[in-house]
Structure 1
Amino acid sequence: MTELQRVNISERHPAAYKALFALSSEVDAAAAAAGLDPILVDLLRIRVSQINGCAFCLRMHTRDVLKKGESPDRVAVLPAWAETTYFSETERAALRLTDSLARLSDGPMSDEEYGAVAAVLTEDQISVVAWLVTVMNGFNRVSIASGYRVGR
């Protein structure tokens, strides 16, 4: 059985893909300026990719975060982060916001949940997390729409 070849939208419209990368670079700089740990940034990328089911981005960002020294245990429990004590208060707030923004079909985050996030994260950090989710949603959709395959 052969699979139908998908249009690789990153190759078909490279200027748009380049603009997405430029946006990602801006968000990385904003994350650093807001004091977000680069490991947390990668964990948030992984979490969005888990929610969206993007195998290509999961593999890439998992490799990235492990190279930076992240624990395989924390990566392994990331889908169930709320049930663990592996994550700091800042990481938990960022993950809570990430989950809410990546799952917009579940409705907006309640004021109570947002208040809990805002009690931990600065306004700059909240904004950066929202932009990280936005960018990762974009990359996940490029990968999935283009049929990026992940194999051994």
Structure 2
Amino acid sequence: MSEERRVHLSRSARPAYQALAEFSKSVGAVADAAGIEPRLKELVQIHASQLNGCSYCVRVHVERAVAAGVSADVIAQLPVWRDSGVFSDRERASFELAEAHVFIHEDGVPDDVYNHVGGILSEQEYVALSWILVSINAFNRVAIAGRYAVPPRDDLADEDSDAAAGKAW
């Protein structure tokens, strides 16, 4: 079987990727100002990346979640968050918002989701999490379109030094 060659978007148009990375830094500043802690920031990005099928971004954000002190048990509960008792109401609202953003093409952010999430999160938290979700969805599409490989854990830095170093977020 021959190895498929795809254009690596982040390397082939470096200025565009750097602009996306700068955008994500701005989003990070908005999140910090809104009090979005690293645990929540990483969990919503893992969940969105799982739903989008972006194995590369799942790897990056699992690494960051672990570095932020999130346990393997909590990360493993993400796909079943509705039935799991390990998440707060705030986290559950954030996962619901993440799902609305991933499937935004179906019905936007539905009124019931907007109202439920808005009843739990402050306006600043809602705005910050929405921008995090816009950003991770963009990164998911770059990685999925390029079929970015998920290297062994110890080789992550060689695949995309910006992502591995956390420079994008």
Q: Matches of residues 38-77 of structure 1 in structure 2 within 5 Å?
A: 38-77=38-77
Deviations 1:23-79 (A, max 9, x none): 111111111110111110011110111011111111111011112111211100101
Once the two structures are TM-superposed, the CA of residue 84 in structure 1 deviates from its matched residue by 1.1
- Structure 1 letter corresponding to 2:115: G
- Residue 100 of structure 1 is matched in structure 2 by 100
Q: Please, which runs of 5 or more residues in structure 2 have no aligned partner?
A: 153-169
Deviations 1:80-131 (A, max 9, x none): 1111111111111111111111112332333222211111111111111111
Matched residue of 1:4: which SS? Answer: coil
Contact 2:31 2:128 in 1 (8 A): yes
Once the two structures are TM-superposed, the CA of residue 146 in structure 1 deviates from its matched residue by 1.7
> Displaced runs of 4+ in structure 1, greater than 3 A?
none
RMSD: 1.2
Partner Cα separation in structure 1 for residue 3 and residue 91 of structure 2: 40
- Residue 22 of structure 1 is matched in structure 2 by 22
- Structure 2 letter corresponding to 1:38: P
Partner Cα separation in structure 2 for residue 151 and residue 31 of structure 1: 29
Give the TM-score, by structure 2 length.
0.85
Q: Please, which runs of 5 or more residues in structure 1 have no aligned partner?
A: none
Once the two structures are TM-superposed, the CA of residue 3 in structure 1 deviates from its matched residue by 2.3
- Structure 1 letter corresponding to 2:44: L
1:116 aligns with 2:116: yes
Matched residue of 1:83: which SS? Answer: coil
- Residue 150 of structure 2 is matched in structure 1 by 150
Once the two structures are TM-superposed, the CA of residue 9 in structure 1 deviates from its matched residue by 1.0
- Structure 2 letter corresponding to 1:47: H
Contact 2:100 2:110 in 1 (8 A): no
Partner Cα separation in structure 2 for residue 140 and residue 108 of structure 1: 19
Contact 2:7 2:146 in 1 (8 A): yes
- Residue 34 of structure 1 is matched in structure 2 by 34
- Residue 13 of structure 2 is matched in structure 1 by 13
- Structure 2 letter corresponding to 1:46: I
Aligned residues: 152
